[in-house]
Amino acid sequence: MRLIFVHGWSVTNTDTYGSLPQILRERAAAADLSLDLIDIHLGRYISFRNEVCMDDVVRALHQALLETLSDGKGGILPFSCITHSTGGPVMRCWVEAYYGVGMLKDCPLEKLIMLAPANHGSPLAVLGAGRLGRLKSWFQGIEPGDGMLRWLELGSEEARVLNRAWLAYHPTAPGSGFRPFVLTGETIDKKLYDHVNSYTGEAGSDGVVRTSGANLDYSWLNLRQTDTALAMTGGGEASRLVYDGSLRISEPCPFLIVPGASHSGDRLGIMRSPTPQNADDKPVVAAILKALAITSKKAYHDLVEQWARLNEVQQTGSGRHRRFFQMVVRVNDDRGRVVTDYDFILLGGPNYDPNKLPKGFFVDKQVNRRSPQTITFYLDFDAMMAVKDGCFGFRILARPSHGFAHYKPAEFRSTNQMIDTLVDPNTTLYVDVTLSRHVDRETVQLDPAARGPVDFKKVLPSGVDVP
């Protein structure tokens, strides 16, 4: 077995992998794996220079693979990969760029084992590119790596493009030897907690990446605005947003929440903390070996179910943890424009009232800096399930809300059954909303020349829309 390691953002030394390569090599035989030192390669890539973006890293990675794992025929020998943090998206972007869904059966990557991957971004990315990130990097003598951080920001267009493409991936399809796995923690290492930045202690995360942001189980929902009128709580009317039947759900991927694992650090870090002395006490080691040993479609599906049961016990058993999910909302209109100026109001209860949401339901929201039409919400899953009568929804108040061209209020109202279909704990739901743009017929008129000049600076909207 050929095995490469790929690190995360802002790493400057391959000692970031700690003892994990040595531990896996020493334990490979017991797991019926063949893994010699000559078969292990420690990847390194530049992410701490501002001019380097994800596409640059992917192109250079492909050349490095061609040179290091050449099959002598212009291709790449089969290999497996263990990644940490941003390394997960790096490898997924490489798979999409050079193989994609149409050539997945030709992909030489057999097992992609991602440790704490920021598959749907990290809330820290926007802060890392800000003043605190620049100061920290300055003291370390490096730049913050803005080019890579743009991909990692919650709701980035680059991450959306990749994740939308991956919805069509079917690793267990006939002929495909590619198998992805995700392992992440939700333990906060208090030694690494930054009191200035609350995201480093966020519940449901490992201090950098949320479990819902790591998990490759996610779904995509399209909603469009209709002419059906709804009475809004508080007065006024909204138009109903309807689900157009195009819900897309990713193929199940083995996902394990590793007990006692944080994002980084020598003590609890999911990658760096295992040592030859404590490996038996680090569940991540046995989990990686188990993933590397998977050889069949059945074994892969069995691992999906096995790890799901372990997560359920860990999160709902005697040591109950709060469970969360992410919702990434992007708003366009039916003319193809992005809508960036809008209020997004969560609703709950049988009357779909913004004041009837349970305490603690809302945790966080973040607007993408470069794509302000996209907002990522972080919500408490169990609180959501407690919404009275299973009634959950949201209202969008887009601007301009009046005039010759405008938008009308829109509301989405779910049922309990619909929520069970759309949302699971530790997952991400992408919601693409299409609003109707209304244009008044008085925006353009053709007057008979016989009437002579017409002053129309005081013309008002007629209230009648053009089709």
Which helix (H) or strand (E) covers residue 68, if one does? helix 54-68
Q: Using an 8 Å Cβ cutoff, are 449 and 347 in contact?
A: no
- DSSP letter assigned to residue 200: G
- List, in order, residues 6 or more apart from 376 with CB less than 8 Å away: 121, 123, 154, 155, 326, 327, 328, 329, 365, 366, 368
pLDDT at 34 > cutoff 80: yes
Q: Cα separations (Å) of 352 from 174, 235, 347?
A: 46, 12, 5
Cα radius of gyration rounded to whole Å, the chain: 25
CA atoms within 13 Å, Cβ hemisphere of 458: 2
Neighbours of 410 (CB within 10 A): 25
**Residue carrying structure tokens 């969560």:** 346
Q: How confident is the model at residue 294 (pLDDT cuts 50, 70, 90)?
A: very high
pLDDT of residue 172: 83
- List, in order, residues 6 or more apart from 214 with CB less than 8 Å away: 88, 114, 116, 117, 118, 119, 120, 182, 184, 255
Q: Using an 8 Å Cβ cutoff, are 437 and 230 in contact?
A: no
Backbone φ, ψ for residue 216 (5° rounding): -90, 5
Is this model's pTM higher than 0.85 or not? Answer: yes
> What mean pLDDT, rounded, does the chain reach?
92
* Pick from 308, 276, 250, 290: nearest CA to 428: 250
Distance CA 199, CA 196 (A): 9
Angle (nearest 5°) at CA 212 between 24 and 142: 65
Distance CA 354, CA 370 (A): 28
Q: Using an 8 Å Cβ cutoff, are 142 and 10 in contact?
A: yes
Token output for 435: 């609003």
Angle (nearest 5°) at CA 461 between 457 and 464: 145
- List, in order, residues 6 or more apart from 373 with CB less than 8 Å away: 330, 331, 332, 338, 339, 340
The pLDDT tens digits of the residues spanning 299-340 come to: 999 999 999 999 998 888 665 678 999 999 999 999 999 999
Distance CA 465, CA 467 (A): 6
Least-confidence region, from 129-143, 198-212, 362-376: 129-143
* Pick from 405, 411, 391, 278: nearest CA to 345: 411
Q: Is the dihedral of CA 371, 204, 292, 180 positive or negative?
A: negative
Q: How confident is the model at residue 246 (pLDDT cuts 50, 70, 90)?
A: confident
The pLDDT tens digits of the residues spanning 407-465 come to: 999 999 987 667 777 889 999 999 999 999 999 999 999 999 999 999 999 999 999 99
